[in-house]
Chains A and B, each alone.
Chain A
Amino acid sequence: MEDLKLKYVYIDRQHACVDGVMLEHESQGGAMLSELYRAHIGDWPKFFKMDTLSKVGFLASDLLLKAIGREKPGEEYTSDCAVVLFGTTASLCADRNYQETIQDADNYYPSPALFVYTLPNIVTGEIAIRNRFRGETSFYVVEKADAAQMAFHLACAFDDDVTAGVLAGWVDSRHNDDFQAFFTMVTRDDAKYTDRLAAAIQTIMDNSNI
């Protein structure tokens, strides 16, 4: 059986790489995300309201969908694409940002804009809203990146009879300037042999230092 190769997007605080090709940018950290958004996307101003976890997930998913030639979402909703993400930090970065707004009794302002992001499944929601996906959306909070575990959960997403593809990824954000993500698209065929899928994910993680 031939090895499975998955196209992927990788982003960390200093790098952004689409299918092995580095994207040019001048800034780093959170500023880099905005720079890449302006250079490559530009038609979704809600991006600037997002927390870092959602920005990274949104950017990586959009770059990936463009790279694999998926047409821009139209008016129609689709249920055949699921979003299944993994990470260790969940919404910790947003939790901390929000906590700071209620920490100080003299400067107390619980920010609604920050509060809405204090859940890891908001990033899956943001991606679904952008792409009009009405399939499964999940965010698995795990202790560490484990290719076999990810492959297992991704394969499970095909246990229904509607899912044709899973937008799959790893996304972590410890601080507004510190994050790491990879995104890939897994088809039903890709997920047919879980071991082979796990090996393909492991290759991405080896290349990305996750």
Chain B
Amino acid sequence: MGKDRSVLITGCGIVCAIGLDKVQVLDSLLSGRSGIGPVRYLKTGHTEFPVGEVSMSDADMESALGIASGTVTTRTSLMGMMAVREALSQARLSREDLNGAAFVDGTTVGGMDKSEQYYLDFSAGNSRDAYIKAHDCGSCSEMIADRFGRFKYITSISTACSSAANAMQLAADMIRLGEADIVVAGGSECLTKFHLNGFNSLMILDRNQCRPFDAGRAGLNLGEGAAFLVLESRESAARRGVKPVALLSGYGNACDAFHQTASSPDGEGAYLAMTKALADAGLQPSDIDYINAHGTGTPNNDVSESHAMMRLFKESLPPVSSTKSLTGHTTSASGSIEAVICILALQNGFTPINYAFENPMEDGIVPNMKLRPDRPLRHVLCNAFGFGGNDSSMVLSYAGED
């Protein structure tokens, strides 16, 4: 046995289209309830595209968090605060405990929502400078972090749809290297016109409920949300007397080097990322009991990812599903949102279904539609692939009974 390199996860929090906390998200996963529907909160003319919105207005979230109205916030930072609050509470971390901790946030859209609302004002000189200054990704990360304590280190990772997964990987690196005992890591991303229009211009949005890995799939539905996890060293958790909810036992990142936005048809980048994650965890493909696929529902991704999974797992392919069929594609936050979904699956012994699947695609995997797995879940794989060919994969493992 080699040295145990796994990093403990001692708390997590989530907010997305299928729930405002872990209890609600678990309930939606178990009952297979999709959160995708008509646009309610985003001010857009493109109402033909269903989306996975968090079912609270900015004002609702401010009120739930006890933030005085008039305070400068962004939707990205508000959702992030909801998720961090839940994660810190589960990990039993106080404000003082965070002084030596780090905060790593994955986001790409940042404060774009408020920039869209106030940009015309700003450019006409009726400035709402405070909101324009909140535009960049770093300011959203700081807004979230500063609400909870004085972290010794704060950074933002912005690699599009693999941002939150990469934030967790940086966090785990910091713990393995002894740079920090506790790192709060994850990602947050709200819907904006900027990227809804952008994804529409790439012609990868489905006008109906998205259908990952289905023959009839016609693109993705955008979603929004946040999830944060408390990553902690074994020594620190033991000292504080907290038990892990799961382990991050391995991870990998690889560059696809194929196209600015699309994945290579053979899924080389995805294959490399998953291979690295397994090697890092010291596991064989047959050790993996479930895969939470990136599974966006675009024709390109699902072919590419299928090829990568079939190549790596051959006959031992475990149940695979894309929970983006329930949450929508939460872009930068998807890596941590799906990591929390994996943790809920590990803890509660179920395999999330691939909602809306009907017909198998040619030359692709057949996704999981069975909630109860044939064998207990010990290790699961969670994929997140981003524009720029930036592919990440993580192995999350069962941490034992409470």
Contacts and interface: CB of A to CB of B under 8 A. Distances in A.
B392 to A, nearest CB: 12
B110 to A, nearest CB: 11
- Taking chain B's interface residues, is the majority helix, strand, or loop, or is none over half, making it mixed? mixed
Contacts of A158: none
B24 interface: no
B388 A122 contact: yes
Interface residues of A, number: 29
A102 B192 CA distance: 12
A52 interface: no
B194 A134 contact: no
B293 interface: no
Interface in B231-270: 253-261, 268-269
A129 B257 contact: yes
A121 B200 contact: no
B198 A125 contact: no
Interface in B349-388: 386-388
Among A117, A118, A119, the one with the most B-chain Cβ atoms within 10 Å of its Cβ is A119
Contact of B201 (A77, A111, A117, A120): A111
B212 to A, nearest CB: 22
B389 A112 contact: no
B389 A125 contact: yes
Contacts of B202: 112, 115-116
Contacts, number: 84
A141 B158 contact: yes
The A contact surface, by secondary structure, is mixed
Given A77-B257, A122-B260, A126-B260, A115 B390 contact: no
A30 to B, nearest CB: 19
Interface in B89-148: 108, 137-138
A136 interface: yes
A124 interface: yes
B198 A133 contact: no
A56 to B, nearest CB: 16
A118 B193 CA distance: 14
Contacts of B201: 110-112, 115
Contact of B389 (A102, A111, A128, A141): A128
B108 to A, nearest CB: 7
Contacts of B256: 134
B272 interface: yes
Contacts of B137: 141
> Which of B108, B160, B201, B257 has most A Cβ within 10 Å?
B257
Contacts of B321: none
A137 interface: yes
B197 interface: yes
Contacts of B323: none
The 9 closest A-B pairs by CB, nearest first: A125-B388, A115-B198, A110-B197, A112-B201, A121-B388, A110-B201, A128-B257, A116-B260, A137-B255
